[in-house]
Copies of this chain bind each other. A is one copy, B any other.
């Protein structure tokens, strides 16, 4: 028996993990994240493994740790969190009127069974309506873009600009709950 530990500071991921109905604790690691690849899928897998490793260092035998990381990619290039409003503007202008990809990487690992760790990345495509510059500025003024990969939150005011998606919606919010639910199958019965 062990605890399920979410190694993430994101309040959105916390809410999404609650959808599984499993008991869990949140332990955001304070680790510096290092990306050594420019491939979005490989990057989120590596970052999720780093976050899980951070959580694992404070876990007890039997605990199951989840690490996750999300990036937005367009034309194969990664858009992270904007550093300022000017960068948010240029990111949103790039997403306007086009389809981009959102990748969330997830690592699930049990303390004491690190050799059975599972890492995967889930991809969702997002079609964004053409946005006028004033609409982009109005959206930035809501404050939503600043702490989010790609400078938008699909679950907030940006929803009016999202024509449609293909794939797991929750993956865009920050955690692919359907695939995670499957990955947690071996552990579901042993969590306290």
Q: Which residues in A have some Cβ–Cβ distance to B below 8 Å?
A: 16, 19-21, 124, 129, 142, 154, 156-157, 159-170, 177-178, 180-182
Besides the known contacts A162-B168, A163-B178, 17 further A-B residue pairs in the complex with CB atoms under 8 A apart: A19-B156, A19-B157, A19-B159, A21-B142, A21-B157, A124-B164, A154-B169, A159-B178, A160-B178, A161-B178, A161-B181, A162-B178, A163-B168, A164-B167, A165-B166, A165-B167, A169-B169
Cβ contacts A to B, 18 pairs, < 8 Å = A16-B159, A19-B156, A19-B159, A19-B160, A20-B160, A21-B142, A21-B157, A129-B178, A154-B169, A159-B177, A162-B168, A162-B178, A163-B168, A164-B168, A164-B178, A165-B168, A165-B169, A169-B169
- Complex Cα–Cα for A157 and B177 (A): 10
- Complex Cα–Cα for A21 and B159 (A): 11
Q: What B residues does A169 contact at CB under 8 A?
A: 154, 162, 165, 169
A102 CB, nearest partner CB in chain B, Å: 12
Number of copies of chain A assembled together? 2
- Complex Cα–Cα for A116 and B127 (A): 29
A21 CB, nearest partner CB in chain B, Å: 6
Q: What B residues does A177 contact at CB under 8 A?
A: 159-160
- Complex Cα–Cα for A166 and B157 (A): 20
- Complex Cα–Cα for A81 and B19 (A): 22
- Complex Cα–Cα for A41 and B156 (A): 27
A139 CB, nearest partner CB in chain B, Å: 10
A84 CB, nearest partner CB in chain B, Å: 23
Q: What B residues does A163 contact at CB under 8 A?
A: 168, 178
10 A-B pairs with least C-beta separation: A160-B181, A169-B169, A164-B167, A19-B159, A159-B177, A166-B166, A164-B168, A160-B177, A163-B178, A160-B178
- Complex Cα–Cα for A142 and B19 (A): 11
